[in-house]
């Protein structure tokens, strides 16, 4: 079976470079050892059998300007993709961080389906599962829901009930809290092509609609011009030409209830609070390394997928990238939070996500040399990629073992060497940091500052809304 990649998926495939592999990495932590045979069976039955992309490889076309195709791997075996290994001594968090960073530098074999899973024994008294999946298969939201389909909401599910759940697995995301994402992770628009077709049909019968559409097209053109003309971020201690080596770090589990309370007190969102804390952490890091700047920009994925619909079997990418200015030059925690909140609201109310998705889709249709220039131009404008993926609010179980912690790292592209990935699970939030090892040798410094910033924001006095001023009454002649 052969299916052409969509232009957006082809764009993510061709973004691969030795210095920036387009691979989404996640880690599941367990407090007890895992049974390898059971893990393989789960991945075969719930991942490979359900989503054909995980048993297909990518084949480049021999014709110019023709997209690559998905084709079944005739030699597919789940054992080629689910591996078993032991964590090196001292078998602690530092050893796991080093292993994850090393795996991030390994290109995926293009002659096989583009994913690998590593069952790692000896993480303390428990185990870890490290997964690496190429971005051309799916975006982070889709992959989060796919990974959730591997799990159950109780440790031992009877066979009959399991078969029933398998048949209705596409709806499990909403049952476990994935139907509504947090903050700016909202469905922004319907399918772009289908929308264009509907708009075209309406033009025939509605001149007023034609005028409205012309205005929308003009606004989108202006949005595209603004995105293209946004100036590049300057080189700093956290931005420069990335090398091959990667390092990762992650925060301690952060109580979601505390962050929600802080957000309510400050009339902000959970995402505003987290982004403001990250901004403060980067501010301190830049100043500590004698590199203060006024503002940097983050590239933020903006979901365009309807999260009330089941995950399509073909998966794929359905998101745009928007620029989020981060006020790292602002010294006050409250003012940073206000500035981030204002910028996030502008993003939610705008069309940047849908327009940038169109730009990326267009890039996937042109020769790779031109696409590379587009990617370089686009990514030069940002310093980091920042993502927020909501997970289930209750514990889940993989092959009968409870998943204690979930970590994720989004890839970076072009000139960007840092990603910050936020993930919520079972009432806790973890923030994963991936950095270029040359630019940021000790990413734990940033994580430490992040935790300090969250504490500082949580101690701010509640915001008091000032009453609106009454308009002055004008005197009138008797």
Return the SS3 of 388.
strand
196 pLDDT above the threshold of 90: no
Higher pLDDT, 366 or 441: 441
Q: What mean pLDDT do residues 249-268 have?
A: 95
Q: What mean pLDDT do residues 201-217 have?
A: 38
Block residue for tokens 């003309």: 229
104 pLDDT above the threshold of 90: yes
pLDDT confidence bin for 345, thresholds 50/70/90? confident
410 pLDDT above the threshold of 60: yes
pLDDT score at 215: 44
Question: How far is the CA of 4 from the CAs of 60, 309, 315, 400, 404, in angstroms?
Answer: 10, 23, 13, 37, 38
pLDDT confidence bin for 202, thresholds 50/70/90? very low
Contact assessment for residue 66 and residue 10, using Cβ atoms and an 8 Å cutoff: no
**Residues 379-400 pLDDT 10s:** 788 899 999 888 899 999 999 9
Least confident window among 83-92, 220-229, 235-244, 432-441? 220-229
Higher pLDDT, 373 or 246: 246
Instruction: For residue 142, give the nearest of 28, 301, 310 by alpha carbon.
Output: 310
pLDDT score at 342: 92
**Residues 143-195 pLDDT 10s:** 988 988 999 988 876 544 544 454 444 433 332 222 233 322 222 222 333 33
Instruction: For residue 320, give the nearest of 259, 284, 283, 361 by alpha carbon.
Output: 361
Q: Would you put residue 408 in left (φ > 0), alpha (ψ -120 to 50) or beta?
A: beta
107 pLDDT above the threshold of 60: yes
Q: What mean pLDDT do residues 398-419 have?
A: 93
Least confident window among 18-27, 57-66, 82-91, 153-162? 153-162
All structural domains of the chain, each given as residue ranges with its CATH number in brackets, are: 2-175 (3.30.559.10), 192-387+419-458 (3.30.559.30)
Q: What mean pLDDT do residues 76-94 have?
A: 95
Average pLDDT of the chain?
81
Q: How many residues does the chain have?
A: 478
**Residues 351-362 pLDDT 10s:** 666 676 666 666
CA distance 107 to 18: 7
Q: What mean pLDDT do residues 400-411 have?
A: 95
Block residue for tokens 């929600």: 260
Q: What mean pLDDT do residues 1-15 have?
A: 87
pLDDT score at 374: 74
Report the share of the chain in percent with pLDDT over 70: 76
pLDDT score at 304: 75
> Please, how many CA atoms are within 13 Å of residue 61, restricted to the half-sphere of its CB?
16
Higher pLDDT, 165 or 317: 317
Q: What mean pLDDT do residues 463-472 have?
A: 53
CA distance 154 to 394: 10
Residues in a beta bridge with 423: 389, 430
pLDDT score at 351: 66
Question: How far is the CA of 335 from the CAs of 81, 263, 331, 397, 401, in angstroms?
Answer: 48, 14, 8, 41, 44
Give the global pTM: 0.82
pLDDT score at 251: 96
pLDDT score at 341: 94
Instruction: For residue 457, give the nearest of 350, 370, 340, 320 by alpha carbon.
Output: 340
Contact assessment for residue 50 and residue 169, using Cβ atoms and an 8 Å cutoff: yes
pLDDT score at 312: 80
Structure tokens at 316: 């794929």
Report the share of the chain in percent with pLDDT over 90: 55
CA distance 36 to 447: 33
**Residues 291-304 pLDDT 10s:** 889 999 998 887 77
pLDDT score at 405: 95
């Amino acid at each position: 079976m052969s299916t052409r990649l969509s232009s957006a998926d082809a764009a993510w495939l061709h973004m691969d470079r030795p210095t920036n592999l387009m691979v989404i990495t996640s880690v599941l932590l367990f407090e007890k050892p895992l049974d390898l045979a059971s893990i393989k069976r789960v991945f075969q039955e719930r991942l490979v059998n359900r989503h054909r992309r995980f048993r297909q490889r990518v084949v480049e076309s021999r014709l110019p300007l023709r997209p690559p195709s998905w084709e079944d791997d005739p030699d597919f075996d789940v054992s080629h993709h689910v591996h078993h290994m032991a964590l090196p001594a001292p078998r602690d968090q530092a050893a796991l961080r080093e292993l994850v960073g090393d795996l991030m530098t390994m290109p995926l074999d293009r002659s096989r389906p583009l994913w690998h899973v590593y069952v790692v024994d000896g993480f303390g008294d428990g185990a870890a599962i490290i997964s690496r999946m190429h971005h051309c298969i799916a975006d982070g939201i889709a992959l989060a829901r796919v990974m959730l389909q591997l799990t159950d909401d109780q440790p031992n599910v009877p066979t009959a009930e399991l078969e029933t759940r398998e048949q209705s697995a596409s709806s499990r995301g909403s049952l476990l809290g994935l139907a509504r994402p947090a903050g700016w992770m909202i469905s922004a628009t319907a399918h772009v092509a289908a929308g264009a077709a509907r708009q075209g049909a309406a033009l025939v019968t509605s001149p007023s609609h034609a005028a409205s559409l012309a205005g929308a097209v003009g606004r989108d053109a202006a949005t595209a011009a603004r995105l293209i003309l946004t100036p590049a971020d300057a080189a700093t201690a956290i931005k420069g030409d990335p090398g091959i080596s990667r390092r990762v770090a992650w925060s301690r589990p952060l109580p979601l209830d505390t962050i929600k309370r802080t957000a309510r007190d400050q009339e902000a969102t959970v995402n505003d609070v987290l982004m403001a804390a990250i901004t403060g952490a980067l501010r301190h890091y830049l100043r500590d390394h004698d590199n203060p700047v006024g503002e940097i920009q983050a590239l933020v994925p903006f979901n365009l997928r309807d999260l009330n619909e089941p995950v399509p079997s073909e998966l794929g990418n359905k998101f745009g990238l928007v620029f989020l200015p981060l006020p790292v030059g602002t010294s006050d925690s409250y003012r940073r939070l206000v500035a981030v909140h204002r910028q996030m609201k502008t993003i939610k109310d705008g069309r940047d996500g849908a327009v940038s998705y169109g730009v990326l889709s267009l890039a996937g249709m042109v020769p790779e040399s031109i696409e590379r220039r587009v990617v370089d131009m686009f990514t030069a404008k940002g310093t980091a990629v920042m993502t927020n993926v909501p997970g289930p609010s209750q514990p889940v179980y993989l092959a009968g073992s409870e998943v204690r912690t979930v970590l994720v790292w989004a890839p970076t592209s072009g000139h960007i060497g840092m990603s910050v990935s936020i993930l919520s699970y079972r009432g806790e939030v973890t923030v994963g940091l991936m950095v270029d090892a040359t630019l940021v040798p000790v990413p734990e410094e940033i994580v430490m500052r992040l935790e300090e910033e969250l504490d500082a924001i949580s101690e701010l006095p509640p915001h008091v809304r000032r009453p609106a001023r009454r308009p002055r009454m004008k005197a009138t002649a008797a």
